[in-house]
Amino acid sequence: MNFDELKLEYGKYPSTMSAAERMKKYMAGEVVDHIPYSLHTVNESIVNLCGHTISELNDDFEVFAEVTERAKEQFGLEGINIRLSLRTMGVAMGSTARYPENGIDSISDHILKDYDDWNRLNAIDPFSNEVLKPLIDRGYQVVKRFPNAALTTGVVGPLSTAIAVRPIEKVLRDTKKDPKNLKKLLSLCVDNSLLWVEAFTKEFGGGSASISEPVATSDIISKSQFDEFVFPEMQRLVEGLKEITGAKPSLHICGHTKKIWEDLMRLDISSFSVDNCEDLAELKAVMGDYCPIIGNVPPVEVLRYGTIDDVIQSVITCLKKAADSPKGFILASGCSVPIGTSEENLMAYVYAARKYGRNAQKGVAFDSL
């Protein structure tokens, strides 16, 4: 299918429910217009389609509003998430970041190179911290411009926050050489994430929060390291978010995670989002009776560099493997949508979700696929 053909077909499969209505009815076991879907951090690609840069998206509310409106109108992506990036809390605590005009931020100088520097860490008050306060201010702008939008937030898991404060090679070394101080750092990272969500919820009301924890992947740490260092603080983060917001948080972990799926079922999460390097059918077999599963169209190979037909086929494959997951399935990219993903591939993704995922019902396969 070429782009002109896609544009003609796209209009034949509109959504007939709002995203909130769809999710509520789907999780209640009712038939909905089509499978629920999302795209991780897609605004960074949509902003380029609007002719702006990521820097403008972050700094100019009018650009943010334009992207938000296009995400809803063209791609059916509703809800607004004022989330912390993987580096935000680290910078709030005192690290220095690099912000490319049209790229992803990165840490250029870690605040905690040595644990003797502990007193250099910034105390976290989201209402006065120079990194977090602008996000609160953006929330005020969102509420004013989009009063009916669902406003949510997201935080970063303990280990991924820690490497924005202390270099990753030192954090990994600490698991052997200085576990006591590492556990202290991980605990502080969770404390600060909870302070952020508490402030956000106080200002904008309750709503489920999301957790991203890319460094907890089995590609970086061992199962024993996960058990000792990550799981206890992740469990504390999950329980804290539930207490603050009144809702279970969702969880995404990048990379290979199969070794810890059984552990994740000990967390009281609302859903688990899996990277495309894992198989949805295998995840369904293990976690499908526990919580909704989310995934996992390859963001790089398919969404960024694939053809329209590649995207459509990948969506179909995901639906075949996971649409009948007992607790529900949400179609999504395996990880963040890359900067530079084309309009046609984003449209192909939405088109395939609406066409091949039509009349979705929780726990029911699509026999026509």
pLDDT digits (tens, 9 = 90+) for 93-117: 999 999 999 999 999 999 999 999 9
User: Mean pLDDT throughout 67-92?
Assistant: 95
Which SS3 state, helix, strand or coil, does residue 69 take?
Answer: helix
Average pLDDT estimate for 281-295 = 98
Count of other CB atoms within 10 angstroms of residue 185 = 25
Query: Kind and range of the H or E element at 331?
Result: strand 329-333
Using a pLDDT cut of 90, give the percent of the chain over it.
96
Looking at residue 354, what is its pLDDT? 98
Q: Residue type at 133? A: K
Q: Tokens at residue 88, please? A: 């935000």
pLDDT at 368: 87
Backbone angles phi, psi at 323, to 5 degrees: -60, -30
Burial of 243 (0-12, 13-18, 19+ CB in 10 A): exposed
Question: If you average pLDDT over residues 153-179, what whole number do you get?
Answer: 98
**In the predicted model, what is the mean pLDDT of residues 13-36?**
97
Arithmetic mean of pLDDT, 161-165: 98
For the residues of 238-257, what is the DSSP string, one character each?
HHHHHHHHSSPPEEEE-S--
Provide mean pLDDT across the span 171-177: 98
79 or 324, greater pLDDT = 324
**Two tokens, residue 25:** 């009815």
Q: What number is the average pLDDT over the span 140-160?
A: 95
Pairing of strands 271-274, 293-297: parallel
Contact 357, 34 (CB under 8 A): yes
Query: Taking the mean position of all CA atoms in its chain, how far away is CA 91?
Result: 19
Q: How many CA atoms lie within 13 A of 315 on its CB side?
A: 30
Per the rule left: phi > 0, alpha: psi between -120 and 50, beta: everything else, 246 is left
pLDDT at residue 199, as a whole number: 97
Calpha distance 88→97 (Å, rounded)? 9
pLDDT of residue 207: 81
Q: Are 292 and 330 in contact (CB under 8 A)?
A: yes
Backbone angles phi, psi at 92, to 5 degrees: -60, -30
DSSP state of 324: T
CB 252, CB 213: distance < 8 Å: yes
Closest residue by Cα to residue 157 from 210, 103, 212: 212
Q: Are 76 and 15 in contact (CB under 8 A)?
A: yes
Which pTM value belongs to this model?
0.96
Nearest to 347 by CA among 24, 45, 16: 45
**Taking residues 187-205, what's their average pLDDT?**
97
Rg over alpha carbons for the chain, rounded to the nearest Å, is 20
Q: Put the strands of the sheet holding 250-253 in their side by side order.
A: 80-83, 151-156, 210-212, 250-253, 271-274, 293-297, 329-333
Backbone angles phi, psi at 35, to 5 degrees: -60, 140
Query: 207 exposed, middle or buried (CB, 10 Å; 0-12, 13-18, 19+)?
Result: middle
**pLDDT of res. 173:** 98
Indicate if the pLDDT at residue 206 is higher than 80.
Answer: no
The pLDDT mean for the chain works out to 96
Give residue 190's pLDDT.
98
What tens digit of pLDDT does each residue of 130-146 get?
Answer: 999 999 999 999 999 99
pLDDT for the residue 150: 87
What pLDDT sits at residue 131?
97
Half-sphere exposure of 25 (CA within 13 A, CB side): 17
Task: Please report the pLDDT score of residue 208 as a whole number.
Answer: 85
Sort 140 into a burial class: Cβ within 10 Å, 0-12 / 13-18 / 19+. exposed
